[in-house]
Structure 1
Amino acid sequence: MENARPPWARRCLGPGWERWLSASPDEPRGWFGTRLPWLSTLAVTVIVMVGSGFAGHGQPDRVPLDSVARALLFAGTALLLFRHRFPRAVALGAALATVVYLAAGYPFGPVFLTVALGAFGAIVAGYRRVAWCALGGVWLSHVLVAHWLYRWLPPAHDGPAPWEQEFFVTAWVVAVVALSELVRVRREQLAKARAERAAAERRRADEERLRIARELHDVLAHSISVINVQAGVGLALLDSDPEQARSALTTIKDASKEALGEVRQVLDTLRTPGDAPRSPAPGLDRLPELTEQAASAGLAVAVSTEGAPAALPPGTDLAAFRIVQEALTNIVRHSGSRTARVLLAHTPGALEIRVDDDGPATSEADGPTGGGNGLVGMRERAAALGGSVEAGPRPDGGFRVLARIPLPGTRDRGRAPDTDAVTPAATEEES
């Protein structure tokens, strides 16, 4: 069926005979859900009907308007009611009604408005070829009727039209096409801008969900690890050393209270988006609290500093605190070492964090808790600020976490990470 059509039909209508009758994808399908432009179509119908009557009085040499002429005018304007639903069919139908109207010798006038609006709707909907074929068909039929076929068509004793008239028709066609293309391009730009805004909003929502999930993981993993260790101590000493068991229970109470407070702070951002947090986000100034919690879990932490400490941006301060917190949590959960060393190196362009323990790994590292999101979360935090995190066994034994976070607004001229001190092998402390 495709090859049976003439070449001009394939060029105008495109592949598939039924496609030129199909609805525009921008409009809802189904008759009851279609938005029909009733008011604008009614206004165009009145203009065409009344205007053609006035135009007929000024062109006594043309065939007077009769019922056939009114029917053709009404048919052309009535098609415009479906110009958003079937833009290609309306463009061709309005052009056909206009060609028949002109061939019958009726007066010139607002009849060209229906063709212009039909072609305008097709071009705006993206069907340029159909619109051009409709406009070209009207122009070609006007040339044939006005210069060659007028001898056999009404009105009687009609002569050829001046060729200067064709320049006006050509200018009219070009103006319709140019305006339609301008509107179409503008609509595409607006649609693209809306799509980009929607994509940006989805991206921000995804980033916020990832941030909240990372915060919850860091808070809960650290606190629950402390609680787990102290609960084991309390159970072991409940009968033999009740006072030590009481101390373990007190630590559990304090750790759970702090965890609940931080979880509540994170969840408050979901309930009241855009509001300022009720308490400041944790930073490196809370390292003493972190070391105390680790000490209550049986891990002695030594913190040292190199270089002149500088005021850190809130995002960098939070990321540094969470990296140290997660590294200590991994030692508590997966290392047999009871000591850990934290080094904060302030360089001109970056903050370096190094957390070491002497190991060895415990059997828990191979259990269900191994292979989690701890190291992944640390790397994501550092990468979000343009930094990096490396973790792995040290050549001399033990385990090392090495993070480097560039400082915004400064050029990173610090020393390169000590990659030789970390072996990218099995990450025994990943949680």
Structure 2
Amino acid sequence: MGASAKWERDSVVKDWGLAAVVAVIQLVGSSGANSHQTGVRSLDAFAYLLLLVGPVALGLRRVLPEPVLAVTLIATVTYVLRDYGYGPIFLSLVIAFLSAAVTGSRWRTYPVVVIGYLTMVWPVPALLGRHSDAWQIFGLLAWMGVLVAIAEGVRQRHAVVLARTQRAEAAQRDEQAQQARAASEERLAIARELHDVLAHSLSLINVQSSVALELFDRKPQQAAAALATIKTTSKEALAEVHTLLHAIRSGTAVPEYPEHSVVSENSVVVEDSPPPPRPAPRAPAPTLDDLDTLLERTRATGLVVDTKIIGTPKKLPSVIDVAAARIIQEALTNVVRHAPGASALITLRYTTETVDITVDNTRSTAMAARTGIGGNGIIGMRERAHALGGALTAGPRPSGGFRVAARLPARAATSAADARSSSSGRGHRGEVGA
């Protein structure tokens, strides 16, 4: 506000300073011009008043440009029609016209030129019996055309400057919005990574602790084995969290999604967009090569897990490989938490264009109680699949139990159109997940 107030004060000083200069020029110059013209009325008090009206009005030209133009036009026309002769009185009218024409409406300002020509040059002076030579008729007409051209040029220049300013402000707002989106996406990716790191391990710990409590008195050896599993799992989870925190602090992380793509909150891959300033930190992520290790930890909870591979296994891009392992890990975590006593079957089907993942589990045993509460596991799995141009469905099987089925591309997405078309299948967030 201080800078704005200072600018307003400076503008007022400049306007009234210009008004004072114009007043001096009109008073002194008109006196000299009147004395050197023949057949004109000598300047009197009313003439000097008319010479001062225009300059005084110019002091308000920024605040009331069009009224100032009207006042100066009336004063100038009155001066000329009273036959005081021509002189510098036109200076205030020219300045008032330029001030109003640049900022005001063309329909209200440009006709002033026509009115001024008709009343002060031709034909009104001729009708009043005043002599008008060809220089006045055509010369002043040309100068008035130049005056309109100057006003239009200044007006266009101001429009260009305003457009540039608006574009710069829009670009700044867009940059700020992109930074906000990047920060939001980074927080979302960090939250997803923390979920991936902790949910599986904590679910195993929860199940094993329940087993240990139940068998502590009757079968101490099995309880000890469960506690050993808890110790190993918690140690591994703690190491993963430490690694993730180190990656967050150092910023030396590898982005989860394909290079030159930004994953928005709507899970759309935007190709050829600049990557976020700081990619989302990641801890070392499992892949399908680590599937046996993942299954060992899950089987330690007592869950029976079988695998079935259809087709020839092949090396997948790292981002797809990680996503496939995470989906399997999350699906098994859901089985451990929500279907205790059930068994699971993992089916991997390799084709030329896709890798299909299916995780089926049977019904929970009648004696087992369902553990855990709903969360974001299915949501996270679906977002992973959609972000890579794939699809994922999850829901109860007609024969009982639950099925998670994902189809991922065998190659990283190469076009934004592919990712956008795949993202249209994103489901509702009403399912129960880890």
Same fold (TM over 0.5): yes
**Does 1:203 find its partner at 2:174?**
no
After TM superposition, give the deviation of residue 294 of structure 1 in Å. 0.6
Q: Aligned letter for 2:113?
A: W
CA positional deviation for 1:410 = 7.1
Distance in 2, matches of 1:290 and 1:69, equals 96
Once the 2 structures are TM-superposed, how far is the Cα of residue 324 of structure 1 from its aligned partner?
Answer: 0.9
- Quick check: 1:174 aligned with 2:152? yes
Distance 1:118 1:224, change over 3 A: farther
Q: Is the 8 A contact 2:308 2:348 kept in 1?
A: yes
Aligned-partner SS, 1:389: strand
- Is 1:191 the counterpart of 2:169 in the alignment? yes
- Mapped partners of 1:90, 1:262: distance in 2: 70
Query: What is the Cα deviation at residue 293 of structure 1?
Result: 1.8
**CA distance, structure 1, for counterparts of residue 190 and residue 321 of structure 2:** 17
TM-score, scaled relative to structure 1: 0.69
Matches within 5 A, 1:309-320: 309-314=314-319, 316-320=320-324
1:253 to 209, 215, 231: 231
Partners of 1:158 and 1:258 lie apart in 2 by 106
Aligned to 1:245, the other structure's residue is in SS state helix
Distance of aligned partners of 1:139 and 1:282 in 2 relative to their CA distance in 1, 3 Å threshold = farther
- 1:327-338 mapped onto 2 (5 Å cutoff): 327-338=331-342
Moved more, 374-383 or 391-400: 391-400
Say whether 1:108 aligns with 2:79.
Answer: no
Residues 340, 369 of structure 2: 8 Å contact kept:
no
Secondary structure at the counterpart of residue 60 of structure 1: helix
Kindly indicate whether the alpha-carbon contact (under 8 Å) linking 1:222 and 1:325 is maintained by their aligned counterparts in 2. yes
User: In the alignment, is residue 60 of structure 1 matched against residue 58 of structure 2?
Assistant: no
Residue 114 of structure 1: how far off its partner (Å): 5.4
Q: Matches of 2:369 and 2:8 in 1, distance apart?
A: 69
Residue in structure 2 matched with residue 142 of structure 1 by the alignment: 116
Paired position in structure 1 for 2:433: 430
Total equivalences in the alignment: 368
Kindly provide the CA deviation profile for residues 345-367 of structure 1, in whole angstroms up to 9, marking residues without a partner as x: 33222222121222237798877
- Structure 1 Cα separation of the partners of residues 217 and 369 of structure 2: 29
State the partner residue of 2:106.
Answer: 132
Report if aligned partners of 1:361, 1:429 keep a CA contact under 8 Å in 2: no
Deviation at 1:232, TM superposition (A): 0.6
Larger Cα-atom Rg: 2
Cα 1:67–1:365 shift into 2, 3 Å: farther
Alpha carbons of 1:207 and 1:297: their partners in 2 closer, same or farther (altered >3 Å)? Answer: same
* 70-79 or 387-396, which deviates more: 70-79
Q: How far does residue 386 in structure 1 lie from its aligned partner after superposition?
A: 1.4
For 2:158, what is the secondary structure of its paired residue?
A: helix
Q: Which piece of structure 1 moves more, 134-143 or 225-234?
A: 134-143
In structure 2, relative to structure 1, the CA distance for the partners of 1:350 and 1:278 (3 Å cut) is: closer
Shift of 1:389: 0.6
Q: Which moved more, 1:38-47 or 1:168-177?
A: 38-47
Please report the RMSD computed on the Cα atoms of aligned residues, expressed in angstroms: 4.2
Query: Which residues of 2 match residues 389-400 of structure 1 at below 5 A?
Result: 389-400=392-403
Contact kept in structure 2, 1:212 and 1:266, CA below 8 Å: no
Contact 1:334-1:429 at 8 Å conserved across structures: no
> Counterpart of 1:327 in structure 2: which amino acid?
A
In the TM superposition, residue 296 of structure 1 has moved relative to its aligned partner by 2.0
Deviation at 1:319, TM superposition (A): 2.0
After superposition, where does 1:234-249 map in structure 2 within 5 Å?
234-249=212-227
> For residue 353 of structure 2, what is the aligned residue in structure 1?
349
Correspondence 1:375 to 2:346: no
Task: Determine the C-alpha separation between the residues in 2 that align with 1:175 and 1:335.
Answer: 78
Q: Distance in 1 between matches of 2:21 and 2:72?
A: 16
Structure 2, unaligned stretches of length 5 or more?
38-42, 81-87, 252-277, 416-426
Q: Which moved more, 1:276-285 or 1:388-397?
A: 276-285
Structure 1 counterpart of 2:306: 302
- Match of residue 328 from structure 2: 324
Instruction: Give how far 1:34 is off.
Output: 4.8
Q: Give me the whole-angstrom Cα distance separating, in 2, the residues matched to 1:346 and 1:298.
A: 29
State, as a whole percentage, how many aligned pairs show the same letter. 33
Letter in 2 for 1:168: V
Unaligned residue ranges in structure 1 (runs of 5+) = 1-27, 81-88, 123-129, 412-423
2:73 aligned residue: 99
Q: How much has 1:391 moved relative to structure 2?
A: 1.9
- What pairs up with 1:17-56 in 2 under 5 angstroms? 34=5, 36-39=7-10, 42=13, 50=21
- Residue 218 of structure 1 corresponds to 196
* Distance in structure 2 (CA, Å) of the matches to 1:41 and 1:362: 88
Q: Is the 8 A contact 2:55 2:92 kept in 1?
A: no
The corresponding residue for 1:76 is 58
CA contact (8 A) 1:52 1:109 kept: no
Q: Give secondary structure in 1 for the equivalent of 2:392.
A: strand
1:100 CA displacement: 4.8
Q: Once the 2 structures are TM-superposed, how far is the Cα of residue 255 of structure 1 from its aligned partner?
A: 2.4
Give the letter for the 1:253 counterpart: K
Deviations 1:273-299 (A, max 9, x none): 527958534433332332122122112
